[in-house]
Structure 1
Amino acid sequence: MNSRIAAFIQHLGVSYNEFERSINAGRGSVSGAIKNDRNLGSHIVESILQKYKELSADWLFRNHGEMLISTDKMLREEVTQYRLRTDNNGGFQQIPLYNLEATAGLVELFRHVDEKTPMDYLSIPNLPKCDGAVFVTGDSMYPLLKSGDIVIYKEVSNIEEGIFWGEMYLVSVDLDGEEYISVKYIQKSEVDENHIKLVSQNSHHQPKDIRKDRIRALAMVKASVRINAMR
């Protein structure tokens, strides 16, 4: 199994340290086990499969089949669209599905999208024109969205003029030099016109006012897909 985990990390294009952080494992817990050919704890393996829904458990445990679960097997027909009245159908689209861990964040993805390799493509009929799709993490939009769902987005190039109040967005914010990525509703802020309010679906998450100039990347969520990883 260790060699297959090493192959998967290489596929992601991240360091062992980055991979360990992504699954909330201690530094060296994965790299040390692979280097010294030790068994990984079951809790670490479970964390890997929970974090990376695209990774095939059958391949990981038994070396059967392909490393990645095809999107056709992952998707159930639970597509929810979030349309504006002005949206038109984009016709047949091959929407690229990206792994944000592998693309080094939303800002990097938007700046160099032509250089990024999608992990797969989605084909969903009757959607408005979209730019891409990513996996959701966290529970701030639960129960509308849960961790592991997919959001399909259209990039907003002009933040000052491109926000429709009350709509759902994929947003990257600079917080003390760190990129914070989330899916939120954007509402007008009571602070002043230079701020916006980020609002969660989950009532346990409090709204947060941020300055517009803290936004590093923004995309309107056009649809979401509830996924079911086949085991």
Structure 2
Amino acid sequence: MTINNRIDLIIKQFGLNKNSFSTKIGVNPTVIHNIIKGRNAPSFELLNKIVLTFDNINPEWLLTGEGPMLRGIKPDEINRFSSKADTYLHTVRIPLYNVEAIGGVVEVYDSIADTEPIAWLEIPNLPKCDGAIYMVGDSMYPLLKSGDIIIYKVLNDLQNILWGEMYLLSIAHNGDAFLTVKYVKQSDTPGYVTLISYNEHHQPKDFPFDSIRFAAHIKASVRINSMG
């Protein structure tokens, strides 16, 4: 990957286009256009503008390609729950939302992404993810503990649920609404799914498939082992 390619990756990483990126760093759009096309090499002054504007960009990565693209906190422990279809990126920037995932009944959230992120996570070598929330409760203990951060990819079509995988689910059934993290398996009862906890003290329970209002595939979790 050339330095021109890395600048193009920065533009895509922050959801910009060449014009908005040019405006943000204060250069003529033609300059960026020619760099992305490989016609010109970026000047030191332009690289300095990028680093000053995007202060979480790793300057070493920008100049040499070495190290992670983004500078961020290194978690003590990262668990990945991935499938062969996952597309891995060099570094993923993930919004952290203030939504509690509880192994019980809570207020349902129709759209987590409508909430303003409270922070951003920057983790290398993860598949594309849509967001992260804190885990509360012991339904997935000890695999997931209360306070762990769970990272997810929203499922746009519920028919694409992978049986046996772990999901963040919004369920509405018999007047109750709750958000939970469970393994999802096919039920022996037609039209139903079985939700299974990792904690053996929680019994599996069946719900109608059409009671699932929202599903997000759990891709990874982050656990901070030291608070000091």
TM-score, normalised with respect to structure 1:
0.61
- Alpha-carbon distance between aligned partners in 1 of 2:226 and 2:180, rounded to the nearest angstrom: 22
Task: Give me the CA root mean square deviation.
Answer: 1.8
Cross-structure match for 1:107: 110
- Equivalent in the alignment of 1:189: 187
Q: Which residue of 2 aligns with 1:60?
A: none
Aligned to 1:150: 149
- In the aligned structure 1, how far is the partner of 2:225 from the partner of 2:140? 18
Q: Residue 126 of structure 1: CA displacement?
A: 0.3
Query: Aligned partners of 2:169 and 2:226: how far apart in 1?
Result: 26
Mapped contact 2:76–2:225 kept (Cα < 8 A): no
Structure with the largest fraction of strand: 2
Query: Displacement of 1:137 after TM fit?
Result: 1.1
In 2, Cα distance between equivalents of 1:105 and 1:132: 17
Question: Residue by residue, what CA displacement relative to the aligned partner does 1:68-110 show, whole Å, maximum 9, x if unpaired?
Answer: xxx94xx632000011012120332210000016xx743232x
Structure 1 CA distance for aligned equivalents of residues 99 and 218 of structure 2: 16
- How many angstroms apart in 2 are the aligned matches of 1:144 and 1:121? 23
> What is residue 196 of structure 2 aligned with on the other side?
199
1:157-186 CA-partner distances (Å, limit 9, x unpaired) = 1112x1111111011101333321111001
- Give 1:215's aligned residue: 212
Q: Deviations over 1:117-162 (max 9, x none)?
A: 10001011000000000011110100100111111000001112x1
Q: How far, CA to CA, are the matches of 1:145 and 1:218 in structure 2?
A: 18
How far does residue 199 in structure 1 lie from its aligned partner after superposition? 0.5
Amino acid at match of 2:208: R
Q: Give 2:168's match in structure 1, choosing from 167, 170, 180.
A: 170
Distance in 2 between the 1:215 and 1:82 partners? 21
Aligned 8 A contact 2:171 2:178 in 1:
yes
Cα separation, 1, equivalents of 2:223 and 2:98: 16
Q: Note the residue ranges of structure 1 that are not aligned, 5 or more in a row.
A: 1-70
